[in-house]
Amino acid sequence: MSVTIKTAEEIEKMRVAGRLAAEVLEMITPHVQPGVTTEELDRLCYDYIVNEQEAIPAPLNYHGFPKSICTSVNHQVCHGIPSERRLKSGDIINIDITVIKDGYHGDTSMMFMVGKPSVIARRVCDIAHEALWIGLRMVAPGMRLGDIGHAIQTYVEAQHASVVREYCGHGIGLGFHEDPQVLHYGRPNTGLELKAGMTFTIEPMVNAGRAPVRVLPDEWTVVTKDHSLSAQWEHTVLVTETGHEILTLRKDERQALAQGAA
């Protein structure tokens, strides 16, 4: 499959899907507290997406994934399966939401610090957040994906953290995972040149320790090999004629951007 350029009509649908995905994260935020199980978070998101948004939780049954959201705790990198596990103070958790509305996908994730985080937990969350925003700020026509990957990798490694290699961002639209692959490492002046109308995600996974990961016997949950903490933030972004538009911005981020803080 090749990289698609979205039409104006498709872009409008992507805006709607992106906004819905962001609103799920806003809805779930007050529920991410010590004592809640990740299964309870999954149920709240499923009900909200299906009943309030009249949308579809894309992960459910995607290549056999059993739940509606991904919940990845502490040294889990991504694709964690909601379960009876109870969150406790000091945990960090990535919640990854993908909704389908009118055929189109919106995909976004963020970290939550449960109760009181350790210094290192806060740090890995912050580094992954900045890594995402370094990538997002670069998105514009003429930019190449290798430039973005290189900038993210350079930043993360300068912080003495590491970038996961096995998973990457992706084109998105009618498909959940479309071309291109958006690597969070790379070399300048290489890779696909961005053009207006492309939509893709940036979603760097950052490990406090070394980069290698493995998949648990549940065949989904990705964890760091060295058991170090891992963090990830994700947005869906559109390349515009003049730069970019983030399709999954939350209210707090919109305000921060308006004040020039993000």
Contact status: 147 vs ligand MF3 (CB under 6 A): no
247 φ/ψ angles, rounded to the nearest 5 degrees? -85, -10
What's the Rg (C-alpha) of the chain?
17
Site for ligand MF3 in 54-83 (CB under 6 A): 59, 62-63, 65, 70, 79
Q: Which is nearer to ligand MF3, 91 or 203 (CB)?
A: 203
Residue 5 parent element (H or E): none
Q: Which is nearer to Co ion, 23 or 234 (CB)?
A: 234
Among 42, 107, 147, 178, binds Co ion (CB under 5 A): 107
Burial class (CB in 10 A: 0-12, 13-18, 19+), 214: exposed
Site for Co ion in 142-201 (CB under 5 A): 201
Q: Which is nearer to ligand MF3, 120 or 192 (CB)?
A: 192
Contact yes or no for 89/63 (Cβ under 8 A) = no
Q: What does the DSSP assignment read for 160-198?
A: T-EE-SS--EEE-SSSSSEEEEE-SS--TT-SPBP-TT-
Mask for 149-188, x = binds ligand MF3 (CB under 6 A): ----------------------------------------
**Spatial distance between the Cα atoms of 78 and 220, rounded to a whole number of angstroms:** 8
Site for ligand MF3 in 85-114 (CB under 6 A): 96, 98, 107
Residues 6+ apart with CB under 8 A from 134: 151, 152, 155
Q: Contact residues for Co ion (CB under 5 A)?
A: 96, 107, 109, 201, 234
Q: Contact residues for ligand MF3 (CB under 6 A)?
A: 59, 62-63, 65, 70, 79, 96, 98, 107, 201, 203, 234
